[in-house]
Amino acid sequence: MKLRRHKNVVHQFDREKMLLSENSPFPVKEAFKTLRTNVMFSLPGTGGKCIGVTSSNRSEGKSVVSLNLAISFAQLGKKVLIMDCDLRLPTVATKLNIPIKVGLSNYLAGTEEDNILRIYHRGAQNIDVVAAGSIPPDPTSLLSSEAMKSLIASLKKDYDYIILDFPPVFIVSDAVLLSDCVDGYLVVVRQNSSEYSKVDETLRQMDFGNSKIIGFVYNGKTQDSMISKDSKYYKYYYYKK
């Protein structure tokens, strides 16, 4: 299978503001702590947990949510891996400022030696990262392959949490292909961006694929609107289904 090298296009992305850190605003840190806690309660038991993050459309913030959820788990001392499964328009490596060379697609296509550790990167946020790699001609066949399912099963033995950043479901069905491997999905919706009809169709497709949705992340809420006039506490981004 011939792979096309991903162009390392520099997008406008303020890492200091968007990626979770000790310097992040209080409501942002609390929002992801709450999201982390709800995910942990939604996926009880022992062993590695695989969490898929998707949305209905692009530009709704799913990749930033994926990264910050991974960082939040790492802050608890958990062993965390984030894998960019958006093999069409990957952004995880760019957001982490990781040089794009090889990644998931190269491993699945067999263009790299049979050792996934070759394509690991250690992020500055103490999380392990597998970039998307070269753009394949048929991402769907790679993600639905037995090699991908075996990879996830193997990684679950080594990690407490594996975060899969999937492409939007309304655009392509890639996220649903791994429903048997994913312990729970988070669906990101964005204020003043997500369309009801597209979210509804996304949920229909995920239900058809027997995807276990554990919650929604309401993204893009302004700080002022996050403050309750009655309690003065910050409202959360996370809403459990």
* pLDDT value of position 102: 83
The secondary structure of 22-58 as a DSSP string is TTS-HHHHHHHHHHHHHHHHHS-SSS-EEEEEEESSS
What pairing do the DSSP bridges indicate for beta strands 161-165 and 80-84?
parallel
DSSP state for residue 174 in the 8-state scheme:
G
- Cβ atoms < 10 Å from Cβ of 54: 29
- Residue 95 · residue 64 · CB < 8 Å: yes
Section 97-109 average pLDDT: 85
pLDDT in tens, 31-73: 999 999 999 999 988 889 999 999 887 777 899 999 999 999 9
Distance CA 144, CA 126 (A): 29
Section 93-106 average pLDDT: 85
Beta bridge partners of 81: 128, 162
Single-letter residue type at 204: R
Tell me the pLDDT of the chain averaged across its residues. Answer: 80
* pLDDT value of position 182: 95
Distance CA 43, CA 183 (A): 7
Helical (H) or strand (E) element with 64: helix 62-74
Dihedral angle of Cα 176, 182, 183, 186, to the nearest 10 degrees = -60
pLDDT in tens, 161-207: 999 999 888 777 788 889 999 999 999 988 766 777 888 888 888 88
Lowest mean pLDDT among 5-9, 188-192, 223-227, 231-235: 231-235
Ordered structural domains, the chain, with CATH = 28-239 (3.40.50.300)
- Residue 205 · residue 174 · CB < 8 Å: no
pLDDT in tens, 57-67: 777 789 999 99
Distance CA 118, CA 121 (A): 9
